Amino acid sequence: MLYDQPQVVEHPDYLTKAGVLDRCEVVAGTGLFESIPAGADLYILKRVLHDWPDDVCVSILRRCREAAGKRGRIAIVDAVIAPGNGPDPNKMVDLLMMVLAAGLERTESQFRDILERSGLRLTGIVPTPGPYRLSVVEAEPA
C-alpha cells in the first residue's frame, strides 16, 4: 500500500514504471497527522521525521503504532548522526534542517527517545550504502 497526500498519489506513474502498480494499493489521505490505514505488516517513513521537531514526530509515530497493532513494525529511513565531535556529513544536513524546517537529524539516542515516547521499541539500525549515509531505524511495539 502506498499512502500519501492526494496530489502525490493522483498520478502514480512511478509505480507503473517500476512495474508494481498491479501489486500495490494506492490510498490518498490527509497525511500522518490525522489517521493512517491500519493492518499493514510494516510502515515505512522515508525522510519524514527529520522535517519535524520531537513532539510532532512522537505524534506521527503514535499514529503509526496505533495502525500497526501488536504485530506491525515501523521502519524509519533517515540519517542517524554519529556520536561525538568527529566529522559526519549528516551534521551539515542537521544544521540545514534546524534552520529551514524546524526539524533535525537525530542520533541513535534521540531516535530511541522519540520511539519510546511513542510506545515503540528500537530494535536495530542498519546503515545503507550511498553518499547520503541514510540508515533504516527499525522499531516494534513496546
27 with 54, same domain?
no
Judge residue 111's burial from the number of C-beta atoms within 10 Å of its C-beta, 0-12 exposed, 13-18 middle, 19 or more buried.
buried
54 with 97, same domain?
yes
Q: Catalytic site residue 11?
A: no
121 with 85, same domain?
yes
C-alpha atoms less than 13 angstroms from C-alpha of 74 in its C-beta half-sphere? 35
Cα–Cα distance measured from residue 87 to residue 26, given in angstroms and rounded to the nearest whole number:
40
Question: Which of 45, 50, 52, 65 is labelled catalytic?
Answer: 50
96 with 122, same domain?
yes
The number of folded domains in the chain is 2
In tens, the pLDDT along 43-95 reads 999 999 998 999 999 999 999 999 999 999 999 999 998 888 877 777 777 77
Q: How far, rounded to the nearest angstrom, does the alpha carbon of residue 68 sit from its chain's CA centroid?
A: 14
91 with 129, same domain?
yes
End-to-end alpha carbon distance in the chain: 24
Q: What is residue 129's DSSP assignment?
A: -
The pLDDT, as a whole number, for residue 132 is 72
Query: Does the predicted TM-score (pTM) go above 0.75?
Result: yes
In contact, 67 and 91? CB cutoff 8 Å: no
User: Which amino acid, 38?
Assistant: A
Range of the domain at 13: 1-31
Cα–Cα distance measured from residue 65 to residue 36, given in angstroms and rounded to the nearest whole number:
10
C-alpha atoms less than 13 angstroms from C-alpha of 134 in its C-beta half-sphere? 14
Pick from 27-41, 43-57, 107-121: least confident: 27-41
4 with 54, same domain?
no
The pLDDT, as a whole number, for residue 87 is 76
What are the phi and psi torsion angles at 49 (to 5°)?
A: -70, -25
